[in-house]
Amino acid sequence: MSGTANVLSTLGEGGRAMFPLARREAPRATWRLPAASQLMAPLCELVLPFLEKVPTEQRFAADDREVIALAEALATLDIAAVEDWKKSGRDAAKYLFLTLQRWVRDHGGASIQRRFDLDLTLSDRLVDYSNERGPEGTLYLILDPDSAAFVLLNPTIELLGSVHPRLAATFFKHFAGSLNRWVRVYDYHDAEERVDMLREWYEGEENPEQYEVPDIAGCTPQCFKEQSLSLRGLKDLNQGMRNKEVRVLVSSLLELCSISRQGKRPEFTDDMGEQLMDSNPPLPCLLAAFSSGDAVVGCFDDEAQTAMETTPHPNLIIPLQLSDPSSVRQGFRTLAVACETLAAASRLIDLMPGNDDGVITREEQS
């Protein structure tokens, strides 16, 4: 594999409080170099780079010109820290690794790792084992899940419904919408699409009535049919809120919405489309279900069985044009907003009743 394919990758191994996704079985083609133990974040859980003991790897190919170019750009832009150059042993690839660790740590890494199991990769191509790479002088920051985080909605829906009839639908719309700006959330809408597809398949069978499909409508609360409030209406409602628990929840939601809108998702370019023309939909970063084991979870489990039959589309692709310092600066700013959005979502889920079991478990650090 030529070029700087898979220059760096920080890999998280999700705790089993997460929902597993189908894994790619193909062997890794690139040579791997384990990161030094003192640079690793908490064993088996960190999903994005962090400075305290995460199971991580660095991977790089022989041609490191683009690695050096990016390292120089990050140092010039004051994104990379000068002191990390000595820590890296004057190795450009390790220097980039430390820079990614620092960047994510400074933009919510500690909160992210409580709930999300994600990979952040720096590569010259979007498909790991493809010979099709991006344009020369372009590297990609790629964000994808190793497994899906889980949020339980019914306890929060019941709490919000006791305060205002439209609050639950409003809460979920803005919660899922803010996250969907950056990563994929699997919810009852996705499950409904799955059921519609199953019905189409079964209609072609001899006895379609023998097949049962998940009852998504039956598990979806009636309050979700209410018209949701705008963000302005939600802010006005929250100002007069007497229930302290609900007020804290809504305030945290408004913070998430504000952070999510501070950046713009990079446009999907023609060269990205050429690399991903045969890709499946992105893997979900979060599964939002009404109750454990409901029909939404069933549809998710069903889809997960075939999710990796074809390489999935990445959740977030941030291209870095190495010849353009403004592209590199904007790319890292975009990564910061994405990280801060995930961190805000994690903090919000911490506040949502019934979600204690969604925290990633960690083995004791040695």
Q: How far apart are CA 183 and CA 149, in angstroms?
A: 12
What predicted TM-score, i.e. pTM, was given to this entire model?
0.83
Backbone angles phi, psi at 276, to 5 degrees: -115, 25
List 42's β-bridge partners, or say none.
Answer: none
At 202 the pLDDT is 76
Q: pLDDT digit string (tens) for 303-313?
A: 998 888 888 99
Place of tokens 């628990």: 245
Query: How buried is 13 (Cβ within 10 angstroms: 0-12 exposed, 13-18 middle, 19+ buried)?
Result: middle
The answer on pLDDT for 219 being more than 90 is: yes
**Residue 40 and residue 13 in contact, taking contact as beta carbons nearer than 8 Å:** no
Q: Are strands 138-152 and 32-34 parallel, antiparallel or unpaired?
A: unpaired
At 168 the pLDDT is 98
String of DSSP letters for 234-300? HHHHHHT---HHHHHHHHHHHHHHHHHTTS-PPP--HHHHHHTTTPBPPPPSEEEESSTT-HHHHHH
Confidence class for position 30, pLDDT limits 50, 70, 90:
very low
Q: How far apart are CA 91 and CA 242, in angstroms?
A: 56
The answer on pLDDT for 1 being more than 60 is: no
Q: pLDDT digit string (tens) for 127-170?
A: 876 777 888 899 999 999 999 999 999 999 999 999 999 999 99
CA atoms within 13 A on the CB side of 12: 36
**Residue 216 and residue 308 in contact, taking contact as beta carbons nearer than 8 Å:** no
SS3 assignment, position 145: strand
CA atoms within 13 A on the CB side of 87: 18
The four Cα atoms 331, 332, 334, 337 give a dihedral, to 10 degrees, of 180
